[in-house]
């Protein structure tokens, strides 16, 4: 992957680096501002500052080491979700409007096809005909079969049909695209809950991966999105999109710390290959190179 693309994007730690290379380190307090501007939660920033002071850290190398260790340990995840693609698993992509769900479906298909998985798309966004068309174009480009419904159809019924088809077809992975929805709209959250119940008629919870797709530019509001989608769906992680933009991904620290939700993938462009599995160590170390 092109490191310059990602490097440009990870502004919260980029800013820290810039701070250390330009600022007079005697003014360690201004680091606080840098961390806050990067959308790191206030309580987390407070405790980091406290720690730096207690440890009497006053130079770039020590501070970078300390922050690196902290972010790697906070963002790492030890669960074995990679085993999920043993057979007949479902990834359901949810999130607010325009966060990148449909393009992420294409990217995941590209990613998992490389390891020979047989994949099916289900076009669960029936609100707009254009949404299904968009996924159809990706299906063609990535060579993936797609099940779709009529515009305005109940998304659960399309998903029921899609999974019935999938059961007969020996698929390894079914990727469900859903309509964008704001986490505060109760009727839409009830709809997504119903969609999940439909999926669970076909598979066990352990084989269902509801991933919240978050635009990395969202800022602090992404915590609320994660909290509310998680309450309704028991998410298994996040996918952070648009990392090629000037994003402030700092809120992923609080999301992991308080909700236990790790980032699973990051995306950094509009092409199917612009996806990478999230690796906390690589992610953080790249910033301090």
Q: Interaction with ligand GTP in 125-184: which residues (CB under 6 A)?
A: 125, 131, 180
3-state secondary structure of 268: coil
Q: What is the CA radius of gyration of the chain?
A: 20
If the CB atoms of residues 241 and 251 are measured against ligand GTP, the closer one turns out to be 241
3-state secondary structure of 90: strand
If the CB atoms of residues 120 and 131 are measured against ligand GTP, the closer one turns out to be 131
Q: Which stretch binds ligand GTP (CB under 6 A): 4-12, 149-157, 163-171, 262-270?
A: 262-270
Judge residue 100's burial from the number of C-beta atoms within 10 Å of its C-beta, 0-12 exposed, 13-18 middle, 19 or more buried: buried
DSSP letter at 101 equals H
Minimum CB–partner distance for residue 125 and Mg ion (Å) = 5
Answer with the entry of ligand GTP, Mg ion, none that 103 interacts with (C-beta below 5 to 8 A by kind).
Answer: ligand GTP
Q: Which long-range contacts (CB under 8 A, 24 or more apart) does 22-26 make?
A: 25/58, 25/59, 25/60, 25/63, 26/58
If the CB atoms of residues 88 and 181 are measured against ligand GTP, the closer one turns out to be 181
d(CA 104, CA 187): 25
Q: Which stretch binds Mg ion (CB under 5 A): 10-18, 101-109, 208-216, 244-252?
A: 101-109
Quote the tokens at residue 167: 């059961």
Q: Interaction with Mg ion in 164-223: which residues (CB under 5 A)?
A: none
Answer with the entry of Mg ion, ligand GTP, none that 222 interacts with (C-beta below 5 to 8 A by kind).
Answer: none
Number of residues engaging Mg ion in binding (CB under 5 A): 2
Q: Interaction with ligand GTP in 93-112: which residues (CB under 6 A)?
A: 95, 97-103
Q: Counting contacts by CB under 6 A, is residue 269 touching ligand GTP?
A: yes
- Going from the C-alpha of 158 to that of each of 101, 139, 217, 282, the distances in angstroms are 17, 17, 31, 39
Q: Which stretch binds Mg ion (CB under 5 A): 15-23, 38-46, 99-107, 257-265?
A: 99-107
d(CA 5, CA 8): 5
Q: Which of 244, 252, 272, 280 binds ligand GTP (CB under 6 A)?
A: 244
Instruction: Check if the beta carbon of residue 288 is closer than 8 Å to that of residue 17.
Output: yes
Q: Which of 37, 231, 270, 285 binds ligand GTP (CB under 6 A)?
A: 270
Minimum CB–partner distance for residue 267 and ligand GTP (Å) = 4
Q: Counting contacts by CB under 6 A, is residue 272 touching ligand GTP?
A: no
**Residue 196: which residues within 8 A CB-CB, separation 6 or more?**
92, 208, 210, 233
Q: Which residue is nearest to ligand GTP (CB)?
A: 180
**Residue 231: which residues within 8 A CB-CB, separation 6 or more?**
none
Q: Which residues bind ligand GTP (CB under 6 A)?
A: 95, 97-103, 125, 131, 180, 241-242, 244-245, 267-270, 274
Q: Which residues bind Mg ion (CB under 5 A)?
A: 101-102
């Amino acid at each position: 992957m092109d490191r310059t693309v990602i490097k440009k994007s990870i502004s919260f730690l980029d800013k820290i680096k810039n701070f250390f290379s330009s600022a007079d380190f005697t003014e360690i307090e201004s680091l606080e501002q840098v961390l806050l501007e990067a959308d790191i939660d206030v309580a987390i920033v407070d405790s980091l500052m406290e720690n730096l002071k207690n440890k009497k850290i006053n130079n770039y190398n020590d501070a970078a080491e300390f922050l690196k260790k902290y972010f790697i340990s906070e963002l790492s995840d030890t669960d074995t979700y990679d085993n999920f693609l043993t057979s007949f698993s479902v990834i359901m992509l949810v999130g607010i409007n325009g966060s990148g769900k449909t393009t992420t479906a294409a990217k995941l298909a590209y990613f998992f096809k490389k390891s020979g998985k047989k994949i099916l798309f289900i076009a669960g966004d029936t609100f707009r005909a254009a949404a299904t068309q968009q996924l159809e174009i990706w299906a063609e480009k990535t060579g993936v079969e797609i099940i779709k419904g009529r515009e305005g159809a109940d998304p659960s019924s399309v998903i029921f049909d899609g999974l019935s088809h999938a059961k007969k077809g020996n698929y390894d992975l079914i990727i469900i695209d859903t309509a964008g929805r704001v986490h505060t709209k109760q009727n839409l959250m009830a709809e997504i809950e119903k969609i999940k119940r439909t999926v669970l008629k076909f598979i066990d919870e352990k084989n269902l991966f509801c991933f919240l797709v978050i635009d990395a530019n969202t800022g602090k509001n992404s915590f609320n999105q994660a909290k509310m989608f998680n309450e309704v769906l028991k998410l298994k992680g996040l996918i952070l999109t648009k990392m090629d933009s000037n994003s402030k991904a700092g809120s992923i620290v609080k999301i992991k710390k308080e909700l236990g939700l790790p980032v699973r993938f990051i995306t950094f462009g509009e092409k199917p290959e612009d996806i990478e599995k999230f690796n906390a160590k690589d992610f953080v170390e790249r910033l301090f190179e």
